[in-house]
Amino acid sequence: MGFFNGLFGTSKSISAIITNTQNNIFNIYGIKNPSDAKKMKASVYLCIAGIALLNELGSNSRSDVMKKIIDKIVGDTRELTKPLSMKVGELANDKEDLKLILSGFPVQFDENVRVNGLGAFEALYLSKVEKLMNDILTHNGGPMGCTGYATIVVTDGIFGAGTDARDKASDNFMELSMQISTFIKNLIDAS
């Protein structure tokens, strides 16, 4: 039984929680059939946001329990993305992002190389996790604190920070933030 188990009701699998949350975000953006690349980005950015926010919530709890929960989130996200397939370039939101993601592959790739879910997960996750976690955890002020900033990280990661995506995120910020809050609540429940 997890450290936080029983705090918020019935438990669900982490994969189901990630899938449900990403589907809810896609619905907010009006995306009926997201590409494998969008599903990959949603899964990875939700994973990173989940890890950061659980670290924020669990900073005063037993670190061994939190480590097990975080390891489970990463492992389940990796498994969830395994069947996906996309071109490397589809994972990036701009040229700088592409360069960072490409550096995560063990061999020389370009943006047109098709990769499986495991390769894409490893490259995207490892190139982003440290910086984005630190960003989320240091943005703890304001009315929404870390959760509000995690919402921005997730939506920018999936959809880019372009004007159209930002306008849509801004118009639906409270609804998107509630999705992230529910996501964290469900992760705690699943542990």
pLDDT in tens, 17-42: 999 999 999 999 999 999 999 999 99
Token duo for residue 37: 């690349």
pLDDT, residue 14, reads: 94
Q: What is the mean pLDDT of residues 53-65?
A: 73
> Which residues span the domain enclosing 53?
14-190
Report the candidate in 174, 127, 145, 154 with the shortest Cα–Cα distance to residue 47: 154
Domains: count for the chain: 1
Residue 5 lies in a domain: no
CA distances from 92 to 3, 13, 88, 111, 182 (A): 36, 28, 7, 9, 27
Residue 1 lies in a domain: no
Residues 6+ apart with CB under 8 A from 110: 88, 89, 102
Residue 170 lies in a domain: yes
Residue 4 lies in a domain: no
Residue 114 lies in a domain: yes
Residue 8 lies in a domain: no
Q: What is the pTM of this model?
A: 0.89
Residue 154 lies in a domain: yes
pLDDT in tens, 114-130: 999 999 999 999 999 99
